[in-house]
Amino acid sequence: MQVLALSRTQDDKGNVRWTLFGASHQPASVVFWRGFSETDEKRFLSLIAWASGDEPPPSQGLRVLGPAADLPAFARARLWREHEPAKIHTLFTLEPFGNLPDSLQEAYLAGTLRILPTPASHVFSWHPWYRKLAAVLPRATQIPLLHLFPRVQEGYTIRIPQSGWLDEHDPSQARPTGSHRVVPHIARTHRWQRTPRDQALVGDGAFTDTVTVALFSTNPDDLGLYGKPMARNSQIWTHDYERLLDGPSASKPELERAAELLDRGGRFGYRLYYPPMRAGTRELFWHLPLLARLQPGSGQAEIYEDTLRLGTVTAEATAPAGGRPLVLAANLLDRPGHRQAASLFVREPGQLRHTTAQNLRKLLDFREYLASPLPGSFARALLRIAKETTLDAWLAKLPQLANDSEAATRLVGDLRAHIAPEIRWARRLPLGKPERALLKRRSGGTSRPWPRVNIGTRKPPTG
């Protein structure tokens, strides 16, 4: 299990994108148990059975370990206690392995105790150096998870900002040692770059700079027409995990000092940081526990189907001393048709990825916006399909493209029920010679169907 921190950010094309900020900066125990009510024991046992592969769910020999203040009532009833007489075989805890009592560590290493989730899943949230850095750099515990991924900018994926390490050193000197992931260049996109919204926003070579140049340079040749220094959208720290720059809150002297220290050389860590969505003055984060397992027998990765219900939203003050975060309930939309539109059309031969899902989403969204059946001509105009393809022909072909033809047939039937019959306008009749002559006389001797109007020739009234 890994608790993620997600929010929505805006890219340089104006698209609002779900963005991965990294591992959650809130304690995993707090985030996870928020997803359960006081009487949700049945759902919790179902999760344990899924994670361990046990059927039916275990009712005996299961204990929970964690701060009692975070636990709901059913979990407190199963709280582990030292020297308890009952034999336990499964322990659910979100504490790091090093903080567990010695007896539990020994039982786990001996193979007589199963710990869920696996203790290895805490390696990112409990990285000691980033926890030290978090004392001076806001939300630094998010960063270790980001280092697993490259920069991701595709239109229909979660946005992942670039992060990594810089080795700024004199070429005549030996390179710093270590196994950090060095990412020295960044491809800067630009506003006049014509990129379809469902494709990656990548540089074209002319706008690929070293990270230090992209962050701090004000040279006109580096910036071009629309570029700007990106230091305000970055966080930088030193090789010994001391804060160097927190871009969103930095003053001008702090920016100048960071640029000077990078120019001197050394090893530095960095990540690009885009402002998360806000509610008033508070920043909103969706803390989502991501649970996965290897399927018994096949060994394929599988995500827990109810994982979205475990997530909670927090509204957090931007200043570290801004008070406790407000906890909000996530409103998960499960609208008819939208889930099918997103999942039925995985492969689309001869088309850009997600084209069919995007077409269906537009039909479903505008049906809700207008609160009435869509006119057929308007529905056809919303679609991104070949010019010669009619709306009926496109709808009829959808079951053949879907990975579940029966579900697609039901979706098509629902769409047809909310599309109004097309209005067929009468064919315009041509005017004969007598009608054209009459029209010419009434229009002042011209062929225009409106009277001649002379502007500015009328004298103003006198007297």
Could you read off the pLDDT tens digit of each residue along the chain, which spans 463 residues? Answer: 999 999 999 877 777 889 999 999 999 999 999 989 888 898 999 899 888 887 666 668 889 999 988 899 999 999 998 877 568 888 999 999 999 999 899 999 998 899 999 999 999 989 999 999 999 998 999 999 999 999 888 766 889 999 999 988 766 666 666 678 888 888 877 666 666 666 665 555 556 788 998 899 888 888 777 778 899 999 999 999 999 999 999 999 999 999 999 988 889 999 999 999 998 889 999 999 999 988 877 778 888 888 888 888 888 887 655 678 888 887 888 888 888 888 888 877 777 778 898 899 999 999 999 988 898 889 999 998 888 899 999 999 999 988 899 999 999 999 999 898 766 656 666 666 676 666 666 666 555 555 554 555 455 555 5
Decide: residue 422, CB within 10 A, 0-12 exposed, 13-18 middle, 19+ buried: middle
Contact, 288 vs 3, CB < 8 A?
Answer: yes
Q: d(Cα 253, Cα 255) in Å, to the nearest integer?
A: 5
Answer whether the bond into residue 296 is a cis peptide, omega within 30°: no
Query: pTM value?
Result: 0.80
- Nearest CA to 326 among 290, 288, 281? 281
Helix or strand run (H / E) with residue 22: strand 16-23
Please report how the helices 355-370 and 391-401 are oriented relative to each other, as an axis angle in degrees rounded to 10.
Answer: 130
Q: Is 337 left (phi over 0), alpha (psi -120 to 50) or beta?
A: left
- Under DSSP, the state recorded for 70 is G
Beta bridge partners of 10: 16
- Nearest CA to 67 among 33, 44, 38? 33
> What value, to the nearest 5°, has the Cα angle with vertex 395 and ends 391 and 397?
120
Q: d(Cα 261, Cα 290) in Å, to the nearest integer?
A: 38
Helices (H) and strands (E) in the chain, counts: 15, 19
Helix H segments across 313-390? 338-343, 355-370, 376-382
